């Protein structure tokens, strides 16, 4: 049966003789020989696994959570796979909702926590209503269900094809993924080119997984990227944004950023930013390195991060450049800045669509950089009390740290003294500011009442 299945899915590796082929029988790693502990697994994920098992279904933890637990990391997301169909999962869990057209999934809700449950994916050689591909070979719909061993073939990398069995706490391994984790080795299941074509997002996932696990990417995985990276244009801009945020909030964004540049992927995702880096007119690269270092540090310290801040940095210098072009054409600073923001956000959305809730935050930080210049009278106090001040101040600090300009340095030092000073210090700082430039409003003279006739 297994050999027949391998023949059936031969298209996955027929162009790559060295591709990973499933064993006739899986390797079972008992609990005594692996480091995955239930203490490290989400309580809600365990509830889902146990309940499916009690109802007579197979239930496994799969993918990144198993990989990360073996590496001693602390995953936040726990995905479950089962032989129960989505409708059967919904009958088991009242707190369940079925989602997705491309992939039919069950989401089990525990307050704000969501456990994703997928049914084993199957294989078929013929396109049907349940599975279809684009002309480029990209999977458009995939709702063919099968067995555990068939599901293995639908995984991308061997290190993501490890199944933690809740029935006996063992790990089921058909493709040598357990040994690859130990050896810090990345291997694709099947032909690399074919798997990238099926889902070009796998290109980005390869970068993210390798960076997060501190694995080296071999030429067999990186060489096809040069040829196939343009296929990312066929992925919805909204889905690309989700993958980009996973990369930049992975705790290893600094390394991922370098890998994106090295493989020409930044140009595919953020062409405006990539162009700014290569022009070298502004310190775009230095700013992004600083922002990603800060983001990684905050994530390691379990502090909150905001996508708006990263978007602010990605487009900051392109916005400054476009603003100057518009001002040279006669526009005043404020309308030029606003028009530049609109133009570049619209242009960026053609590649990676940024949700409005995030662009609103970025807009506020960009606008705040102008407002921080206005400190006279009560303005400094009013700015300091606003909710977005801290993010804007932090961004100003990073601009100063990379040596953007002497003016930026002076402005930051003033605000730093204001933030850290007491009421008297703040009063003196405002008092000692030079008089604001610009034409003062003239006071209107009161007209004398007309003399009675």
Average per-residue pLDDT for the chain: 89
Does residue 383 register a pLDDT over 90? yes
Query: What is the predicted pLDDT for the residue at 14?
Result: 39
The residue-averaged pLDDT of 379-385 equals: 96
The residue-averaged pLDDT of 301-326 equals: 96
Query: What is the predicted pLDDT for the residue at 141?
Result: 46
Neighbours of 150 (CB within 10 A): 19
Q: Is 68 a catalytic residue?
A: no
Backbone angles phi, psi at 240, to 5 degrees: -65, -40
Alpha helices in 372-445 (DSSP H): 379-384, 389-401, 406-420, 423-431
Percent of the chain scoring above 90 in pLDDT:
81
Among residues 68, 151, 156, 180, which one is catalytic? 156
Q: Is 113 a catalytic residue?
A: no
The CATH-assigned architecture of domain 2-199 is 2-Layer Sandwich (3.30)
pLDDT digits (tens, 9 = 90+) for 49-58: 999 999 999 9
pTM of the model: 0.83
Confidence of residue 8 (pLDDT cuts 50, 70, 90): very low
pLDDT digits (tens, 9 = 90+) for 38-92: 999 999 999 999 999 999 999 999 999 999 999 998 898 999 999 999 999 999 9
The residue-averaged pLDDT of 151-162 equals: 93
Query: What is the predicted pLDDT for the residue at 2?
Result: 44
Query: What is the predicted pLDDT for the residue at 175?
Result: 95
Nearest to 221 by CA among 248, 242, 191: 191
Q: Where are the domains of the chain?
A: 2-199
Query: What is the predicted pLDDT for the residue at 3?
Result: 46
pLDDT digits (tens, 9 = 90+) for 424-441: 999 999 999 977 665 555
Q: Is 173 a catalytic residue?
A: no
Among residues 79, 151, 274, 296, which one is catalytic? 79
Q: Which residue is associated with the tokens 């983001």?
A: 295
Name the DSSP letter for residue 218. Answer: P
Those residues with Cβ within 8 angstroms of residue 84's Cβ, 6 or more apart along the chain or in another chain: 52, 55, 57, 92, 117, 119
Higher local confidence (pLDDT), 452 or 121: 121
């Amino acid at each position: 049966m297994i050999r027949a299945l391998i023949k059936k899915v031969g298209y996955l590796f027929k162009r790559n003789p060295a591709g990973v082929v499933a064993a006739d029988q899986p390797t079972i790693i008992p609990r005594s020989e692996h480091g995955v502990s239930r203490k490290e697994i989400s309580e809600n994920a365990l509830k889902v696994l146990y309940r499916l098992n009690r109802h007579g279904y197979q239930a496994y933890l799969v993918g990144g959570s198993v990989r990360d637990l073996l590496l001693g990391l602390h995953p936040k997301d726990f995905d479950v796979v089962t032989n129960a169909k989505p409708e059967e999962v919904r009958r088991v869990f009242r707190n369940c909702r079925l989602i997705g057209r491309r992939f039919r999934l069950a989401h089990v809700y525990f307050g704000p926590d969501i456990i994703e449950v997928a049914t084993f994916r199957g294989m078929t050689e013929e396109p049907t209503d349940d599975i279809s591909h684009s002309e480029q070979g990209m999977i458009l719909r995939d709702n063919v269900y099968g067995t555990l061993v068939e599901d293995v073939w639908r995984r991308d990398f061997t290190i993501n094809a490890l199944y933690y069995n809740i029935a006996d706490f063992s790990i089921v391994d058909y493709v040598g993924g357990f040994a690859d984790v130990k050896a810090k080795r990345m291997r694709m299941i099947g032909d690399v080119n074919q798997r990238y074509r099926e889902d070009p997002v796998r290109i980005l996932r390869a970068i993210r997984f390798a960076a997060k696990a501190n694995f080296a990417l071999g030429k067999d995985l990186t060489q096809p990227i040069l040829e196939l990276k343009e296929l990312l244009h066929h992925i919805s801009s909204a889905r690309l944004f989700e993958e980009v945020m996973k990369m930049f909030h992975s705790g290893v964004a600094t390394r991922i950023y370098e890998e994106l540049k090295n493989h020409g992927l930044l140009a595919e995702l953020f062409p405006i930013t990539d162009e700014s880096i290569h022009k070298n007119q502004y310190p775009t690269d230095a700013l992004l390195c600083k922002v990603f270092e800060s983001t990684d540090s905050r994530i390691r310290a379990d502090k909150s991060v905001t996508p708006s801040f990263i978007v602010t940095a990605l487009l900051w210098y392109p916005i400054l450049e476009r603003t100057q072009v518009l001002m040279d054409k006669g526009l005043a600073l404020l309308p030029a800045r606003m028009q530049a923001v609109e133009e570049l956000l619209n242009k960026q959305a053609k590649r990676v669509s940024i949700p409005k809730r995030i662009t609103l935050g970025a807009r506020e930080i960009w606008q705040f950089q102008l407002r921080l210049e206005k400190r006279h009278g009560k303005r400094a106090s009013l700015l300091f009390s606003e909710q977005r001040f801290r993010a804007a101040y932090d961004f100003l600090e990073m601009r100063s740290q990379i040596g953007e300009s002497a003016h930026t340095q002076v402005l930051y030092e003033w605000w730093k003294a204001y933030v850290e000073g007491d009421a008297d210090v703040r009063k003196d700082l405002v008092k000692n500011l030079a008089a604001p430039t610009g034409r003062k409003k003239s006071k209107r003279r009161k007209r004398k009442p007309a003399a009675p006739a």
